[in-house]
Structure formats: C-alpha cells, structure tokens
Amino acid sequence: MPPRPQKSSVRGRTGRHPIACALSLWLAGCGAAPPPEEHRPPEPPPLQTVEQDAPFIVDWDPRQIASLTTALRTPNAGGVVVAYQRNVIRLLPDCHLAGAYVPSGIGMYRGILQVRRFDSPPRSAATRQDALQQISTSTNVPPGALLESRFVIVGRHYLSGNRPNATVKDLTSRTADGCRDATHFVRAALTGAFEHTGAGGPAVPGAPPAPAPATLPRGGDFTPCVMAGNAGTPACSAFLKIELTPVLPAPTTPEPPPTPTATATTTPTAAPPATAPQILIPKGPAPQATATPTAAPPATATAPQIAIPKPPPAQPTTPATQPTTPPATQPTTPPPAPQPPALP
C-alpha cells in the first residue's frame, strides 16, 4: 500500500490557525499593540461675565461720568433715562422719571475687571481667569485694547419706591424729542472706588499695542476706601456700576366695538309705468254729515256708593229781620138764604 501524502500545515509563523487569528483581530487585534491615547489639554473653566443690564462704567469718559454723577445726586433731577443701543449707553439729559435716588450701604465687594470691545475675542493671552469680563458700553476702548481695573463696591443708590418697571407714558420730556430714543432707566447705581492697573496687553494676539483709552485713571480712592469700607466715606463716593431696567411700551387698551348706526341708503326705484289719460268727471255737492245715534255704553257694575249726608250749615245766632207781608184777603161768598119750611 502506498504511503498517504502528508497534509500541509496551514499555520503561519505565529503558530495560530487563520480562523483563530482573524477572530483575535476582530476582538483585540492579532499581536498588534493598542493605539496610543490622545492627550488633550483640559478645557479652561468658563469666564465670569458681567450682566448686560448691570454694566460697569469705568470705561466712560470723564464728561459722561460727571453728567451721571450730577443727575444721581440732584434731588429734583428725577430718575436717569438712557439709550442703550449697539452696546453703547448714552445719557438722555432731557428725559427723566419721577423720583430721587436714596443712598444705602451694602457691605464690601472687591474684584478685578477686564473690559474689551465687542469685536475682540473673549479670550487672549492677557485674559485673567479670576477677573470679571465685560464688553465695553462706550466708544472709549480702542480696538485691540483690554482695559483692566481693580474695584471695591460699598454702597448703592436706588430709585425711590423701588420701581420695578416703567412705560413710555411714565417718562417726562423737557423737549419735544427728549425721550424719543429712551430704552432703559437707571434703577440703581453702585458706589465705591476703582483704579486702572494697566491696559492688560492686546486683546488680539500679535496686534500692536493699543493706545491708552480716554477714561479716568481712577474714581474715588481705592486704598482708603478698602480700609474704611463705609459708603459715606468720600474715598468711596465714585459711581462705578449701574443697574438698568427696560422701558416698556405704552399699554394698549382694547377699544370697544363701534356701535352700528343707521345710515341712509339710496335705493334706486323704478320709474312708474305709463298710464292712460284719465277723464275728470265733476262731482256733486258733498253729502251732509248726519248724526248717527250711538248706543250708550253698557253699564258697568260698580260698587254701590253710600252718600253720607252733610250737616246743615250753621245758622247765624241773630236772625235777620225779614219784612212781613200781610196775607192776601180772599173774597167770601155769602151763605145761601134760608128756605121757608114746606107746608103739610
């Protein structure tokens, strides 16, 4: 019997069966090392941003801050009204609300603020994680600049009555167009002190240094204000933050439906049909009206009435003397003559 041919081996150099190797590749790879894990840098924590309706005003120019300070401290000036459009706040000196601002203390709050233009990136190499971030509400911060300040807040001036809102009808205008652009009114203003610590570097990486903004270098006195911590201290008398409330449109009251009224309508009428000519016949005298006896109305049953006799009128106590007339004498007829007795 010839010898059987030997079966060829199907194992590779790895010593594994092809089916087992394919299964291993599907599960965890066949002798291959796992891919290296990608090392991604951790995402930075979110920045703390200032609310749009309560912005800092440390980037305003000196004239605008002086106008606001005068309006907030004058008793009869009323509530301050502004126009807040395209990230820019503009005071309206000829428009105001009724009321006055009352000062009060609120404790102490310190921090760092960085102000940039609306077209600058939110993060840059000069952005500080521990600083409040705000978009400028004026045109004083030049492009590419990042204005950095440190501040302390110790007081608050609020509009009397704590008015929650206002409408267009509540505004008082000193001129014809004084309140035309009104969008918000100043609900309150915070007092304290601030000072700029520097431009903080360019907001756009690689940009040339930005010119210095046209703002006040400081407001109040920062160090004495921090040491005093009192809203009544002159060192803490600068206004550096405002709280805004939108001015609502005038309320509309539904008008009652109009009462339908009778209106005269002209209806076209057809022309009368043509008629034959009529011959007039003279009429005789008009008949005399004759009285037609009318029947008496039927007697209606009525309740019997009882006549109550009235007492005779009172006679005067002294009888009046009436003239007496003698009775008329009647003629008398003589009696008949006696007849003689008859003879037997």
115, part of any domain: yes
Alpha-carbon torsion 187, 190, 196, 199, what sign?
negative
Judge if pTM exceeds 0.75: no
326, part of any domain: no
5, part of any domain: no
What pLDDT score was predicted for residue 237?
A: 95
Contact indicator for 76, 96 with CB cutoff of 8 Å: no
159, part of any domain: yes
Domain of residue 243 covers: 48-248
Identity of the residue numbered 203:
A
What pLDDT score was predicted for residue 18?
A: 58
Tokens 């520097």 -> residue:
198
Contact indicator for 187, 245 with CB cutoff of 8 Å: yes
307, part of any domain: no
CA atoms of 200 and 211, how far apart (whole Å): 12
CA atoms of 99 and 185, how far apart (whole Å): 12
Residue 237: CB partners within 8 Å, gap ≥ 6?
A: 191, 220
Domain total of the chain: 1
**Nearest by Cα to 157 from 189, 109, 184, 193:** 189
The first and second tokens of residue 343, run together, are 């003879």
Tens place of pLDDT per residue across the chain (344 aa): 555 555 544 444 555 555 655 555 555 555 555 666 677 778 888 899 999 999 999 999 999 999 999 999 998 889 999 999 989 999 999 999 999 999 999 999 999 999 999 888 888 888 999 999 999 999 998 888 899 999 999 999 999 988 889 999 999 999 999 999 999 999 999 999 999 997 655 555 555 555 556 788 999 999 999 999 999 999 999 999 999 999 999 887 766 777 766 555 555 556 666 665 565 555 555 555 555 555 555 554 445 555 555 656 555 554 444 544 555 555 555 555 556 555 54
171, part of any domain: yes
CA atoms of 152 and 157, how far apart (whole Å): 15
What is the full DSSP assignment across 188-246? EEEEEEEEEEE--S-SSTTPPPPPPPSS-SEES-HHHHHHH--TTSGGG-EEEEEEEEE
189, part of any domain: yes
Tokens 């428009």 -> residue:
95
What pLDDT score was predicted for residue 344?
A: 43
217, part of any domain: yes
What pLDDT score was predicted for residue 320?
A: 47
